[in-house]
Structure 1
Amino acid sequence: MTLLDRRFVLNALVASGAAALAPPVLAGPAQARQAFAQSGPPDKSQPQPPARFNFEDVLKRAKELAAAPYDAMPPKLPEALGKLDFDSYRDIRFRAEKSPLATGPFRLQLFHPGFIYTRPVVVNTIRDGIATPIPYSANLFDYGRNKFDHNLPVNLGFAGFRLHYPLNSARGNDEVVSFLGATYFRFLGRGQSYGLSARGLSVNTGGDDEEFPLFREFWIDVSDSSVERATIYALLDSASVTGAYRFDLYPGADSVMEVTAAIIPRRPDVKFGLAPLTSMFFTGEDSPRPLEEYRQELHDSDGLLMHTGAGEWIWRPLRAPRVGGMSTFEDKSIKGFGLVQRDRNFDHYQDIELAYEVRPTYWVEPHGDWGDGRIELLELATKDETADNIVAYWTLQNRPEAGKPFYYSYRIRSLLESPDLSPNGRLRNVWKTVPKALGSPEQVGVGSRRFILDFDGGDLGYYLTDPAQVEVSANASRGKILRTFIAPNPHIEGFRAMVDVQTDPGTSVEIRVFLRAGARALTETALIPWIAE
C-alpha cells in the first residue's frame, strides 16, 4: 500500500458552537422501498410535484456505471496544474464570498484541481429538490503567486469541496467537513483539529492489487431548515466496484456522520473494507525517539479500540513497525470500532502548531448486524510523521456477489472525550524493559521482556481500598508467561501490572492482559504486539 503524503492535509486543510444534535438512525434503501410498496403507488390523477433528488438517483447512476467498462483514464489536466508543487497548490484559495451556498448556517468552498489531485469531480447543489452542477470559473479562486500562460478550460471541474459552519463560536465560520482525494473525507467536532481520515471504501487493502476508489460526483443538500444537517450524496467508481453513498452530517460538540451505502461489485471475490479509517503513528511512549527530536510522541491515533459482538472491549496500541504487517481480529456482529487518540496531554507532544492532543477519535457504530467478518489493522513502516501509515476497517467473511447491490449503514462520531467508550478501566500507558529489578544479579533469559501496564478509570479507584482483590489475567499467543505482578498506582487512581514473557528470539507474539476481581473483568483487554529479540 502506498503511503499517503499528509502535508497538504495537515497544513492546507486545518480548520479556520452549535449544541450537539442527536441524529436519527437512517432507514436504508431497502426499508425505504418496503415503505413505498406498503403505501401503494401515488394517485396519478392528481398533479404530482417534481421528484426530489435522492439516494435512489445516485444508485441508478451506480448501476449504470457497473454495467459499463471502467474508464481508468481521467480527463487530462493542463500541464501547468499537474506541475504544481505543494506550496504552489496551497497558494490557490477559494474566494469565500463566492460560496454557492449563501443562506443557512453552512458555507460551501471548492478545491481547485492540481498538484496530486488530478482527477476532477463534479459538484452539485440541491435546491428545492433539484440538483444543479456548479460550473467551474476562474474567478471563484485567488491564485496567489501562480501565473499561467494560458486561460484555464471552462470545463475544468473541481478537486473536491469543504463545508464551513459556526462550530466553535456562534459568530464563527469554521471548516467542519472536507471531501478531497479518492474517497477520503474528514470532519470535526468542537475544539478539534484535523488528524485521521475516514474513507468511503477500501479495496484489497494490503495486497499488491489494492485499489483506491474515487468519488466522481457529489450532490450537496442543506435545504432542510428544520435541522442543522448537511446531506451529501456521492457516486463511487473504480475497476472493481461502483457505489452510491449518502452522508448526513450533524455538527456539534461531538459531530456525527450517518453513512448509508450501496456498493455494486463489478467482479467476484473482491475484499472490501467497510468504514475504513486512515491515520498516522510514528512514535509513542514505548517507541524510540528519533535523534534530535524534541517531541516525545507523534501520532494522530494511539490505539485501535474494538467492541466485540460478545461485548468485550479490546484495546490494541498502535505501532510503526520496521516492516509493515497486517493484524486481524475475527468477530461476529461487531458492535463498534475506531482509531482513538487517547493521550490528551500536551506535554507529551509539545507541538503548538500541529496540536496532536486535540486530534479527534473516530468511532464507528454499525447499524444492524454486519455478520461474520474481521477487523483488519494495517501498520506500515514510515520514516517520519508526514505519511498515513495506519489503516483499520471491517471486512466480510462472505464477499458480496458481483453485479448485486450490497447495502449497509453506520455512524461515525468525531470525539475528544470518550467516557462511553470502554466503560471499564482502560490501558493508560505501556512500557517494556528487562524482566528483573534494577541492580538485581538475576540472569535474564534470552527472548524475555517485562511489560509494564498502567490501568485507570472504571471501578479501579474503588478497589484501591482493598487491592488484594485485583488480579492480573495474562496469556501469550506464543512462548510463556513467566510471572505477573500488580501494585496500586495512586498517582493515576488505578493499578500497575507487570507481565514477564519469554519466547524464542525473532518470534511475533501477542500478549493479552486485563485486570479482574474474581470473575468480574475490571478493565478492557489490552493486546500488546511484540517481536522477541
Structure 2
Amino acid sequence: MTHPTDLTRHARSLPQAGLSRRGLIGAAASGVALALLPAGASAQEAAPALPAAGSPFSDATVPDLARAYGNRPFAALATDDVPESLKSLSREQYEAIRIRPNDLIWGGEPHGFALEPLLRGFYYTDRVALFLVEDGVVRPVSYDPARYDSGGAALPEAAKGTGTTPGFSGIRIRAKVGEAHQDFAIFQGACFFRLAGLDQIFGVNGRALMLRPADARGEEFPRWRALFIERPKAPGAPLVIHGLIDSESLAAAFRLELTPGETANAAIQATLVTRKQIDHLGLGGMQAPFLFGPHDRRGADDARAAVYAASGLQIRNGGGEAIWRPVRNPETLQISSFVDTGPKGFGLIQRDRAFETFQDDAHPWERTPSLWVEPGEATGVEGLWGEGAVTLIEIPSDAEINENVIAYWRPKAPVPAGTEIRLGYRQAWGREPEIGPIARVSGTRSGRGGADPRRLFMVDFTGDILFTPEGKAVPLETVLIAGPGKLVEGATRWYVRPDRRTVRVAFELDPAGAKACELRLALKTEGRQITETWLYRWTP
C-alpha cells in the first residue's frame, strides 16, 4: 500500500531556459518490444508488440492495444532484471538521479511542458515503455546515461548489440503554472499518478484502477505498461497522456487530459477489457498518508503538531448530502463503506492550509493538494457509477511515508469476464471543492473526557449561514447520534465565535465497552440542515 517516493522533498529547482530533448528520442521500436518480454516467455506467450517508431497514432491506438492484451492470457513482465547498481540504491541516492536541465524533453518549447523520464531502480522495478506522439506519429524514448546527473550513482550503459537497457519506471512532468515552472505530475509505480496545482507539492496519490484492496484474497495491482505523451500544439493547450495498463484480471487504456492551473484538472476516459470476473473493482482511487493530527495523536512522540497530506474524506452523495469524515491512523485496520447511488463526488481533502497546523519546516504539508473526483458516463456494465459505495480504508501506520488512507468508489455489481467497459470521470487536484451555501467542518479535536473511559470531542463548523447579519448565531438544533456507545447526558456544549464565523459543538462519548462507535453530527435551523454532516468512527 506504500508509494514511497516523494521526489519533491529533495528536488532541486531546474531552470527552464535553453532546454532541448537532445537525442532522447529514437531507438528502434523492436528493441523496446524485446525489452518488454518477460524472462523465459515464449513468442506465443508474449504480449502484443507496442507500436514501432514512425507508426501512426490516434485516440484508438491504446484502446486497441488494451483489447489485444485483454483477449489473451496475462503475461507478467520481468522485474528481476534491474541492474544491481540501481536496485540497491537508497531512497536518497535514487532521488538524487535527475535528468540534466538541457536534456529535458520539450524543455523551453512554447507550450510550457517538459518531460523527465524516470529510471528503474530502488523500489521501482516495473518497466514502463515511454513514447512521444509528435505530428501524429509514435517516437519511442531511448535511454542514454549521459543525459542524467547521477548524483554519484553508477548508471549502466545500454548493452551493446542487444539494445537492452535498464529501462524506465515512469515520467515526471514539469509545467508552466502561472508565471513559473514547477513539478506538475508524476506517473510512476503500479498505476499511480500525482498532480499538483499552483505552488503546491505532491501529496495524495491517484490510482488509475484498484482490484481487491484490503481483501482477504489479496490485492491485485494493475500496472502501467506504456505511456504515450502527445506533444501540445499550442501554449495553453492541455497535455494528453495515453496509458496502457495490464493485470492478471484485465487490461485497460486510459486517456488523461491534464490542464495546469491553480487547481490542476484531469479529464479521464478509460476502456477496460476484463479477462476474469471482477467483484471488487475500485474506481477513482486515491491514497495519502495520515500519521497523526489534532483528533488522533496515538503514539505520536513528535515535535511537530501534525503530519498528514489529507485531513478527511469529503463526499457529495447522490441525494445531495455533503459529508465530512475525518480520517485517522487507527490501532487496527478499519474499512468504512458509504453506500450510495449515483454519487456526485468524493475525495481526500487537505483542509488545513496554515503552517501553524503542522509546524514542519522540512515538509510543507499545508501545500499538498486535495483530490476531488466527479463521476461521468459509463457503458458496458449497467450501474458502474450507480449503486455502490464510497469505500474508505484506514491502515495502522508508524511512518509518514506510508500512504495508509485509501478511498475509492466500489460498484455493487460484479463485472463479468470478457466484458469491455468504457467510463469517464474528472479529477481536480488543488483547493477543496465548493460545498454550497452550508457551513463546513473546520476542525475536529478529541481527547480524554471527564472520566475514563469517556472521550471528549470538539467539532467546529464555520460559515456565514450560522449567523445573522448582526453577527448573532441563528437558532440552532443539534443532531447528534452515537451507536453503539452512548452520549454523556448534560456534557454537550455550544461555543459561538462570531469573529471566526464558527460554532463549536463539544460532547462526550461513553463507549460502554464497544470496540467501535459511529458518530454523526449536524446543525439545523428551523428544521433545515445548514452544515455538512460530520461522521466519525471511534476505536480504542
**TM-score band, normalised by shorter chain:** 0.7 to 0.9
> How far, CA to CA, are the matches of 2:367 and 2:349 in structure 1?
11
Q: Alpha-carbon deviation of 1:173?
A: 2.7
| 1:181 correspondence with 2:212 | no
Matches within 5 A, 1:169-318: 169=179, 172-208=180-216, 209-225=218-234, 227-288=236-297, 292-318=301-327
| 1:526 correspondence with 2:534 | yes
| 1:431 correspondence with 2:448 | no
Structure 1 residue runs without a partner (length 5+): 17-49, 437-443
1:66 matched residue in structure 2:
70
Q: Does the CA contact (< 8 Å) of 1:373 and 1:395 recur in 2?
A: yes
Change (3 A) 1:374 1:167: same
Moved more, 313-322 or 116-125: 116-125
Q: What is the CA RMSD across the aligned residues, in angstroms?
A: 2.4
2:2 matched residue in structure 1:
3
Percent identical pairs in the alignment equals 28
| 1:92 correspondence with 2:97 | yes
Decide which of 366, 372, 386 is 2:401's aligned counterpart. Answer: 386
Q: Alpha-carbon deviation of 1:115?
A: 1.0
Matches within 5 A, 1:357-372: 357-368=366-377, 370-372=385-387
TM-score (norm 2): 0.85
Change (3 A) 1:462 1:53: farther
| 1:469 correspondence with 2:468 | no
Change (3 A) 1:524 1:463: farther
> How far, CA to CA, are the matches of 1:398 and 1:13 in structure 2?
44
Matches within 5 A, 1:343-492: 343-368=352-377, 370-416=385-431, 418=432, 420-421=434-435, 423-433=437-447, 436=450, 444=451, 447-462=453-468, 465-467=471-473, 469-483=475-489, 484-492=492-500
Q: Does the CA contact (< 8 Å) of 2:208 and 2:285 recur in 1?
A: yes
Q: Does the CA contact (< 8 Å) of 1:281 and 1:298 recur in 2?
A: yes
Change (3 A) 1:334 1:463: farther
Q: Alpha-carbon deviation of 1:55?
A: 2.9
| 1:144 correspondence with 2:151 | yes
- For residues 24-75 of structure 1, the C-alpha deviation after alignment (integer angstroms, 9 at most, x for no partner) is xxxxxxxxxxxxxxxxxxxxxxxxxx99623321111111111222122426
Q: Alpha-carbon deviation of 1:430?
A: 2.0
**Partner SS state of residue 398, structure 1:** coil
> How far, CA to CA, are the matches of 2:89 and 2:203 in structure 1?
24
1:77 matched residue in structure 2:
82
**Partner SS state of residue 116, structure 1:** coil
> How far, CA to CA, are the matches of 1:366 and 1:14 in structure 2?
36
> How far, CA to CA, are the matches of 1:163 and 1:282 in structure 2?
28
> How far, CA to CA, are the matches of 1:462 and 1:56 in structure 2?
57
1:165 matched residue in structure 2:
175
**Partner SS state of residue 64, structure 2:** helix
| 1:322 correspondence with 2:328 | no
Q: Alpha-carbon deviation of 1:95?
A: 1.9
| 1:116 correspondence with 2:123 | yes
Q: Alpha-carbon deviation of 1:138?
A: 2.0
> How far, CA to CA, are the matches of 1:200 and 1:291 in structure 2?
32
Moved more, 345-354 or 79-88: 79-88
Structure 2 residue runs without a partner (length 5+): 15-53, 379-384
Change (3 A) 1:400 1:292: closer
Tell me how many residue pairs correspond in the alignment.
Answer: 486
1:37 matched residue in structure 2:
none
Change (3 A) 1:374 1:289: closer
Q: Does the CA contact (< 8 Å) of 1:232 and 1:248 recur in 2?
A: yes
Q: Alpha-carbon deviation of 1:461?
A: 3.1
Change (3 A) 1:324 1:479: same
Q: Alpha-carbon deviation of 1:433?
A: 4.4
Change (3 A) 1:248 1:177: same
Change (3 A) 1:148 1:195: closer
1:56 matched residue in structure 2:
60
> How far, CA to CA, are the matches of 1:386 and 1:63 in structure 2?
36
Change (3 A) 1:419 1:184: closer
1:28 matched residue in structure 2:
none
